[in-house]
Structure 1
């Protein structure tokens, strides 16, 4: 019979599940996030209660036996939120602990190769968020940007934007996952808001009028400098995929 460990979807929850699998010496296991779990008659399930101490012990083992590249790979792939990624991560950690050395380049291992491919997708999504995030100044003098990436890359954006906009108040909010990063000129904090449904639309109730006017000017400039006869739509969409246009004021300011 298969043993299924159900965790809360957090990174510490996943590490806690891995600790308990080792602690109980259970074989034939799978790990699944609570929001993906579907009950089956042919399994025994274990509900995991996230425990920071247990999670830290697993993470310390990863750091001890692996290299920074292993830790980065594990965390970044966890952020993909791909259904079933937990099994690949568990297998990766199990092999790492067994070999007591880095396996990040051991592409002969199916799980390592799969995670390397997932990591590439995470890297592309992060890079595009770095490039396509557009801030708008609110009436509270906070530069606000909303995003809805395919993967949960918001934690990976912190360093880039803190360094680039160190002298400004800003907030980047993931409207799909309902949390954001807020920089108060000293540190970055995780925040949760009850945002209005029209937050993606330009609104003078939230944003400064000067900001709206500036974005309209920028859109007009973009349109006036665009030479339609030389346009290469296919190439353009390769560099700026259509799903990112909603972030760009020069693309579709009035219909975000």
Structure 2
């Protein structure tokens, strides 16, 4: 067996997929792994992420499976799951082997790998949708709009295009505190990510005077419209999970 040892990034996994085809590996006897767990008698190959190889794989996936299914594969790789790399790899292998056209990559959900990749992608898509609804921006003293989030999955790359389109003339940033990752959008320019050691965790934030006033007004508004007799905590938790509330002004 050949085991490609990857970093937990899309670039690393796509590079491993490229290498598996370039080196003509037996896909039934090949694994793409994000862990260092030893496998008896396996040949380990350490993968160095390659931008050109990643681009080639991405172009092939878009051409063969269509943009929507390609995006779903990317979403699966954004999931907080250590088996996602193998699931995506084998889903791609099966899709190419069966000659799946656009929109049909995930048709065979009886296949364990395809079903796993689909489930992971659906979970990431759902969380990205929730973040778009529940994310709160707050204005800092310097006029920058700032939001803090803590998602289970790495959804930043799916959030930034959404807000960059709607807040194109604003300076804003979104901070994923679980991954020490910033999504930064300068007004009128392209957005970008700042990750890891390059990004300093924000320590003390100072809100603008207007922001402080509006936060208090919004809290009072939410309390005022509440109908005590119709309070339903169980339903509320179903509609708004508790893990989102620590990042929402009205619950602070």
Question: Is the structural similarity TM-score above 0.5?
Answer: yes
The reply on whether 1:194 has 2:194 as its aligned counterpart is no
Q: Distance in 2 between matches of 1:110 and 1:74?
A: 15
Give the equivalent residue in structure 2 for 1:17.
16
SS of 1:17's partner is helix
In the TM superposition, what whole-angstrom CA distance separates every residue of 1:5-29 from its partner, at most 9, and x where no partner exists? Answer: 1122221211111121222233322
Once the 2 structures are TM-superposed, how far is the Cα of residue 190 of structure 1 from its aligned partner? 1.5
Once the 2 structures are TM-superposed, how far is the Cα of residue 40 of structure 1 from its aligned partner? 4.6
- More displaced 10-residue stretch of structure 1: 152-161 or 188-197: 188-197
Give the equivalent residue in structure 1 for 2:32.
31
Ranges in structure 2 where 5+ consecutive residues have no aligned partner: none
Write out aligned runs for 1:179-190 (5 A): 179-186=181-188, 187-190=190-193
Q: Distance in 1 between matches of 2:119 and 2:4?
A: 25
CA contact (8 A) 1:144 1:172 kept: yes
Once the 2 structures are TM-superposed, how far is the Cα of residue 42 of structure 1 from its aligned partner? 4.1
- Structure 1 runs (4+) deviating above 6 angstroms are none
Q: Distance in 1 between matches of 2:54 and 2:201?
A: 33
Ranges in structure 1 where 5+ consecutive residues have no aligned partner: none
Give the equivalent residue in structure 2 for 1:240.
240
The reply on whether 1:88 has 2:91 as its aligned counterpart is no
The reply on whether 1:209 has 2:209 as its aligned counterpart is yes
Once the 2 structures are TM-superposed, how far is the Cα of residue 247 of structure 1 from its aligned partner? 1.5
Q: Distance in 2 between matches of 1:189 and 1:26?
A: 36
Q: Cα distance 1:131–1:112, how it changes in 2: closer, same or farther (>3 A)?
A: same
Report the TM-score when normalising by structure 1. Answer: 0.87
Q: Cα distance 1:41–1:100, how it changes in 2: closer, same or farther (>3 A)?
A: closer
Once the 2 structures are TM-superposed, how far is the Cα of residue 166 of structure 1 from its aligned partner? 2.2
Q: Distance in 2 between matches of 1:215 and 1:60?
A: 45
In the TM superposition, what whole-angstrom CA distance separates every residue of 1:23-62 from its partner, at most 9, and x where no partner exists? Answer: 22333222122xx323355432111111222223322322
| Count of matched residue positions in the alignment of Structure 1 and Structure 2 | 243
SS of 2:108's partner is coil
- More displaced 10-residue stretch of structure 1: 71-80 or 50-59: 50-59
What is the alpha-carbon root mean square deviation over aligned residues?
Answer: 1.9
SS of 1:8's partner is coil
CA contact (8 A) 1:32 1:86 kept: yes
Q: Cα distance 1:101–1:49, how it changes in 2: closer, same or farther (>3 A)?
A: same
Give the equivalent residue in structure 2 for 1:225.
225
Report the TM-score when normalising by structure 2. Answer: 0.88
